[in-house]
Every structure is written in C-alpha cells, then in structure tokens.
Amino acid sequence: MRVMSGAMLCVLLAALDQTVVIPALPAIASDLGAYKQLSWIVAAYLITSTISTPVYGKLSDIYGRRRLLLTCIALFIVTSALCAVSRSLDQLIMSRALQGLGGGGLMAVTQAAIADVMSPRERGKYQGYISAVWALSSVSGPLVGGFMAESLSWRWIFWINLPVGAAAMWACNNGLRRLPPPKIIGKPRLDIIGALLLGTALSVLLLALGWGGNTYPWASYEIIGLAALGIILLLLLVGQEMRSADPLLPPRVFASSSYNASIIISTLTSMLMFMCLFSIPLYFQLARGTTAAQSGLYLAPFMLASAAGNILGSRWGRHLGGMRQELRVASALCCAGLVFLALLPPDTPKWTFIVAMLVAGPGVGGCLIGSMMSSQNALPAGDIGSGTSALLVLRSVGGAAGSSLAGAILASGLASVQSPARTTQAVPATPHGLHFGIVYAVAAACAAISFVVAICMPDKRLRESLHVAPISE
C-alpha cells in the first residue's frame, strides 16, 4: 500500500490533466486573445506524452522505477508552473508539450512498478484501485476545470498540480525505495534510433488524425502524405528493432499470442471508449438541448460504470485465475450496450440512453483491466516496462483515432444538416440521431472484433508469484 499510495497520486495527476483543461479553453482563449490554435493546448500534451511513454518504460527497466518516476513528477511540476505563468498561447502550447514529456511516464512507470511488487493474480485487486481513481478523476476533471475557470482563473488548473505533485513525489520516494534494483545482464543501452523513429512516426500519425477533417480534408494530399510517411517510419522502426541489440520495443514480447491479443483488445477498447467520450456530451447538447454542464453530468454514468467494470474485472482475475473468459464477457457486454445505443431512435427517453451506457460501461472497464493484466502476465520480468509502455502507447493512439473518427462522422452530419437544401428548418433531431447512431455502430464493430479476438486467444493462467518465466508460446 506504500507503493499504491504514490501510484494512485500519479494516476490522479495524469487523469486530471487530460480532462480538467477542456472546459477552460474558452477562458484561456479570451485571456490570451487567441482562438485559432486553441486545440493544440490539448494536442501538444497528447503527442509528447504518447511518444515519451515507451522511452520511460525502457529506461525504468534499466535504471529502476523510483528514479524515473521521481524524474517524471519533478518535470511535471516544473512544467505545470510554466503553464500557469504563460503570457501567450504559443508559450502555453510549448509548456503543455513539455508537460507531456513528464506526464508520459506517470502511467507507464506506475503500472510497471505495480507489476514489480504484486503477482499477476493479486495484481487485479490493486489495479482496480488505480482504475477507480482514473475514472473518478476523469469524471471530476471537467467539473473542477469549469469551476476554477469561472470562479478563480484558468491558471489555477495548473497551479493545483504543484501540491498534488509534491505529495505524489513524497509517497513514491517512500514506497518505491523498497523495490530491489533492476537486474540487467550486460551493459544496458538505450535504442536511440528506435526512440527517434517511434517518436517521429507517432507524431506524424497523430498530426494526421488531428488535422484530418478539420485543417485538411481526409482525402487531401496533406493527410494522405502524412499517413504514408507515418507507415513508412513504422516499417523502418520494425527493421530497427529487429536488428538492435537492446531494442526499445523488444520483438520477443510480441512472440506471445496472449500478449498480442491483449494489445489488440486494449487498442480497440480505447478507440471505442474515446468515441463515446467525444460523442455522448455532444449528443445531449445537440440532440437533447442540454447545456454544456448538464451534458458533462450525463457522461458520469458511463465513466462510473466503466470504473465498476474495472473493479469487477480485476476481482474476476484474482478469484478465478484467468482473464480470457473475463475478456469475452466484457467485450460481449460492451458490444451489446453499443448496439443498443446505435439502434435507439432520436426521440427515445433519456433514461433509455443512460441504461444503454450502463450496459456498455462495465464492458469497457472490464476490457481495459483485463487486457492490462493479461498482457503483463505474458511478459518476462526484464520486459515489463517496455511491454506495458507499448500497450499504453497503442491505447493512446487508439484513443486519438477514436475521437478523430467520431469527430469526422459528426462533422459530416452537421454539414449535411446545415446545407442549403435544409435551411428551411432548424437543426432537427433526426439527422443528429442518425449520425450519432453511426458513431455507436462503428464503436460496436470494434467491440465485436475484440470479442472475436478474446474467443481465439489462449487461456493463460495468472501466475501466483512474481517470478516470470520466459515467453514460451
């Protein structure tokens, strides 16, 4: 629990900072007098945190979790102060990018540290605590951000990170000093070329996802060129990792079919989750006429149900000793709830929409915790950090893809509703309901693919001890 107290504070920092800034964007734009590049306040943090995650995971395998986690927290605190004192939008975007370099290690190193002190079977109990903190932080983040922006100043959104970060640093220092030093065979080396290729490839692909449908059309030469360049860089990364003596993402971890299945389920679940997070508030605002604050409250049942799924899924693994069946049940439940959402008529009572969210939410949470536990159970001790980071990176990419895809679908619907042929009526509920239905249908397809993967994956029992045997499947 000494380790867990620091881990939960780190998760609190990471989760709050991803959501607390969103409702404050209008206040930031008004204060700094800039609107055009406002989305980069969020995008800059997302890009740098994503590309730094696998680097921190590998470094923590080499130098230990405590040293890396304290470094991440310190960097996060300093850059939060820089965000709070920014005097222009460019300064704030640059500070947010630097903040992402610290935030990228908070989740990766925290998850690896938990794996160091708890067996895979017992790990589920404590992963449930982490998941509950993440979900509650994600729900409360927009409420806290909106309150601070209206009652105090948007700068307090970043100042609040200083005392929380200091508490996390103290707790992590006390808890993680008990961990044994990493056991490294031979002289450790960081794969610099692999890190550069991975960072550049993810940056290019995330830029394509962020610009597609907004700055440039999806079929434009710019977006197609960025996507092609990203794929080429990923192929070069694969070649680099295959011949590197100490690769950033060891190819041997992908030799396990259990690990690969967990990666696929995790990425698809993150994709459909962010499609829901993006679309649910907009659905209640555009199709139901609620305010922005009310739409945020309607999102709470989905997030709380997801947290419940995390806890139930972790307890499943602890008591029954395996995650394959849990992933099957969770993905089926998620698919059922999303199909229900996709088929609901536009004028359906609000409570039926909430019921559908309460069906899908536990499935989302169960898939996220189940894929994390299953993947770490398949990893050898020396690759826990790298393998966990790879899973988290692909989760981030899946989340970015999901929000971008949902935005493109809804933007096409708004364009069709506001076209000259439809100017005789205000924005009606039916077109909105139709396009929201498409979003949830695509999300349901992701859940269905996850179910098929869970059906085909091997039934690998969770280990009872911390000792990790080499990958044999």
How far are the Cα atoms of 166, 224, 429, 442, 472 from residue 365, in angstroms, in the given order? Answer: 29, 34, 30, 18, 29
Averaged pLDDT of the chain: 77
Q: Which of 288, 394, 402 is nearest to 338 (CA)?
A: 402
- The pLDDT score that the predictor gives to residue 366 is 87
Q: Please give the Cα distance from 107 to 359 (Å, whole number).
A: 27
- The pLDDT score that the predictor gives to residue 242 is 84
- The pLDDT score that the predictor gives to residue 355 is 92
Higher pLDDT: 464 or 87? It is: 87
Q: Please give the Cα distance from 210 to 366 (Å, whole number).
A: 28
pLDDT at 161 over 80: yes
The residue type of 397 is: V
pLDDT at 429 over 60: no
Contact 344/401 with Cβ under 8 angstroms? no
> 286-303: per-residue pLDDT in tens?
777 776 567 667 777 887
Contact 216/408 with Cβ under 8 angstroms? no
pLDDT at 336 over 90: yes
In this prediction, residues 13-34 reach a mean pLDDT of 72
- The pLDDT score that the predictor gives to residue 469 is 45
Q: Please give the Cα distance from 109 to 10 (Å, whole number).
A: 10
Q: Which of 388, 443, 57 is nearest to 271 (CA)?
A: 443
- The pLDDT score that the predictor gives to residue 236 is 92
Q: Which of 206, 277, 327 is nearest to 439 (CA)?
A: 277
CA angle in degrees (0–180, nearest 5) for 194-395-83:
80
pLDDT band at 431, cuts 50/70/90?
very low
Percent of the chain clearing pLDDT 90 (strictly above): 13
Higher pLDDT: 324 or 98? It is: 98
* The model's pTM: 0.72
How much is the CA Rg of the chain, to the nearest whole Å? Answer: 22
> 199-252: per-residue pLDDT in tens?
788 778 877 876 776 677 878 888 899 989 989 998 998 888 888 777 777 777
- The pLDDT score that the predictor gives to residue 278 is 74
> 354-367: per-residue pLDDT in tens?
899 999 989 998 89
Q: Please give the Cα distance from 376 to 462 (Å, whole number).
A: 10
pLDDT at 334 over 90: yes
- The pLDDT score that the predictor gives to residue 450 is 94
As a residue count, the chain comes to 473
- Cβ neighbours around 389 below 10 Å, total: 30
Q: Which of 108, 95, 106 is nearest to 21 (CA)?
A: 95
- DSSP assignments along 52-95, one per residue: HHHHHHHHHHHH-HHHHHHHHHHHHHHHHHHHHT--SHHHHHHH
In this prediction, residues 253-277 reach a mean pLDDT of 87
pLDDT band at 470, cuts 50/70/90?
very low
> 373-425: per-residue pLDDT in tens?
888 777 776 667 677 777 877 887 787 778 767 776 776 655 554 444 444 33
- The pLDDT score that the predictor gives to residue 321 is 63
pLDDT at 50 over 50: yes
pLDDT at 465 over 60: no
- The pLDDT score that the predictor gives to residue 331 is 92
The residue type of 345 is: P
Q: Which residues contact 186 (CB under 8 A, 6 or more apart)?
A: none
Q: Please give the Cα distance from 391 to 195 (Å, whole number).
A: 16
pLDDT band at 445, cuts 50/70/90?
very high
Q: Please give the Cα distance from 357 to 338 (Å, whole number).
A: 8
CA angle in degrees (0–180, nearest 5) for 281-284-285:
85
Residue 191 has which token pair?
Answer: 């794969």
pLDDT at 101 over 60: yes
Q: Is 368 left (phi over 0), alpha (psi -120 to 50) or beta?
A: alpha
Q: Please give the Cα distance from 255 to 378 (Å, whole number).
A: 10
